[in-house]
Amino acid sequence: MENVLLEKSFEFSLSIVDFVEEIKELRHFELASQLVRSGTSVGANIVEAQRAESKEILFTS
């Protein structure tokens, strides 16, 4: 089964990496570093959210 959200986030990450290379050529290293971390974390957050499990919570009165 295809997962459109994961595919789009992967494409987004690749675009971010390409853009960061352009920023590095302009010698904006701090901006490039932050952008690559935040831009590529999107996919990791999606994967983590899809694999999340909840523990049963027991409520007592």
Give the pLDDT of the chain (61 residues) as one tens digit per residue: 588 988 999 999 999 999 999 999 999 889 899 999 998 898 888 888 888 776 666 676 6
How many domains would you assign to the chain? 1
What would the two tokens of residue 9 be?
A: 């986030």
Neighbouring C-alpha atoms within 13 Å toward the C-beta of 44: 6
Residue 20 within a domain: yes
Residue 21 within a domain: yes
Helix orientation angle between 29-50 and 4-25, rounded to the nearest 10 degrees: 170
Residue 10 within a domain: yes
Q: pTM here?
A: 0.69
Domain residues for 13? 4-48
Residue 25 within a domain: yes
What would the two tokens of residue 17 be?
A: 């990496």
Q: What is the pLDDT of residue 1?
A: 55
What would the two tokens of residue 44 be?
A: 């990791």
Residue 58 within a domain: no
Q: What is the pLDDT of residue 61?
A: 61
Q: What is the pLDDT of residue 43?
A: 86
Residue 16 · residue 39 · CB < 8 Å: yes
Q: What is the pLDDT of residue 54?
A: 67
